[in-house]
Amino acid sequence: MSHTVTVDRWVLSSGASSFTSTFKFYFPAKFARTRHFGGTPIRASATSNASNESVTCNSLLCGRRALLSMTALSLVMPCDRVNNSFDAIAADESLRLREEIRKVLSKGKAAGVLRLVFHDAGTFEIDEKIGGMNGSIVLELDRPENKGLKKSVKILEKAKSQIDVVQPVPWADLIALAGAEAVSLCGGPSIPVQLGRIDSLVPDPEGKLPEESLDATSLKQCFERKGFSTQELVALSGAHTLGSKGFGSPVVFDNAYFKILMEKPWLSSAGMTSMVGLPSDRALVEDVECVRWISKYAEDQSLFFEDFKNAYTKLVDTGATWKK
């Protein structure tokens, strides 16, 4: 025999936001269980009569202990309901972070914030199992390759100070999410970012970022050591469409980077065109395998957006240490 179970007035609170849901499901007869979290008991029981059997769990209030309470609910709630509720909590947290990031981010600051992502995550090495998106960039700002990134960190510090009042956020999560917001703000794709990274307490080893002077072969080898294909290398390089490297508007995220690479303006002696891009940018268009992807992205911006979104997600997830 099974019984209808109703969970009503279920309120989850994360920061200043909340939601209420009511669910019905089936539960074995002759069941009674009570669990205590903090000072509030959570009781589930089943009773039987001729016309109606029901269980009601009332007023489960969860603040910062929402995830703990969700574990308790797994005792009486179907798995799909619990999973959906975890997803809702994560979405709520992500939305709150994005809102604070938008308050301090502008199109003019987007390139610097996106560069911060690459310099934090770009230290990852598969064989050595080091680096990755771990927030250690805030400990590495005095390194020559990170020149200028202090400004981007200060921008995000403003958002972090507001977020930490409600619940501390790791630098790794904040930077990963801020980079995605920078892309979206400038007209690029919307990029989902999973939360739950753990910050490193020590700097990553030096010399792990790709050098600007590398040729295409060396670049491909460097990215291969980090777990990225040639296609992903080219897609991620498209981030250089933002900023002052000469690839179209410095505040618009589009496929202008690839169109201009195909034109090779640095071969011209006219004006400032010889200053377009970094040596590593120019090297890509001299490689047959890279050119295949450069030409595809120059012709199809939607394809570039989709591949960049996937490569960015991989970049900020690979090598990260996650909360359990």
**What are the catalytic residues?**
119
Alpha-carbon torsion 107, 109, 112, 114, what sign?
negative
What is the distance between the alpha carbons of residues 87 and 186, in angstroms, rounded to a whole number?
27
Exposure string over 237-266, b if 16+ CB within 10 A, otherwise e = bbbbbbeebbbbebbebbbbbbbbbeeebb
Reported as half-sphere exposure (CB side, CA atoms, 13 A), residue 12 has a value of 23
d(CA 310, CA 229): 12
- CA-nearest of 30, 22, 94, 104 to 59 is 22
Helix segments in the chain, DSSP class H: 66-73, 79-104, 107-121, 149-166, 171-185, 216-225, 230-237, 256-263, 279-284, 288-299, 301-317
Nearest alpha carbon to residue 316 among 221, 216, 239: 239
CB 134 within 8 A of CB 176: no
Q: For residues 56 and 216, what is the distance between their CA atoms, to the nearest angstrom?
A: 64
